Amino acid sequence: MKIGRNIKEIREFEKNYKRSYVADKLKITTRAYANIENDIADITLNRLDEIANILECTPLYLLTYKQNKKDFYNTIHNNDGNQGTINIDQSRQKGSRDIIHELQQELIMSQKKRISLLEALLREYRIEF
């Protein structure tokens, strides 16, 4: 499975990280990391887990990013070819809601981790908050 594009989009658009930042965290060259994002290099499950940790998400989120994004936009923007007629398919809607809920929960967990890290840094530098 090619997931380099997913990793790149999450890194750029959700996290606003530079390639070099992620490469440094992985202790590899920027070129080697670029090969991962360009689907030139295959990655192991361990490497996938490391990347997910750096991007503060789950490996599943990395693997299903494109499909979840497509489902989200089709549901929200009604772009699945029905030319403005809203067709309610309860089974599909339930699945989309579940996916959106899971993504919201991942986002909440990610933000909680981020807040904890920031609080720890503030405490370390004795900055009141």
- Res 92: pLDDT: 47
The answer to the question of residue 94 being in a domain is yes
CATH classification of the domain holding 26? 1.10.260
pTM over 0.75: no
Inside any domain, residue 20 = yes
Q: How confident is the chain (129 residues) per 10-residue block, as mean pLDDT?
A: 90 93 96 96 92 93 80 57 50 64 84 87 86
Helix, strand, or coil here: 16?
coil
33 found inside a domain: yes
Nearest Cα to Cα of residue 63 among 75, 48, 78: 48
Range of the domain at 77: 4-124
Question: Considering the domain boundaries, does residue 36 fall inside one?
Answer: yes
In-domain check, residue 129:
no
Residue 50 to residue 55: CA distance in whole angstroms: 9
| Angle between helix 59-77 and helix 90-124 axes, rounded to 10 deg | 130
CA–CA separation, 119 vs 125, rounded Å? 10
CA 100 to chain CA centroid, Å, is: 13
Residue 115 domain-assigned (yes or no): yes
Q: Closest by alpha carbon to 62, among 47, 79, 80?
A: 47
Domain count, the chain: 1
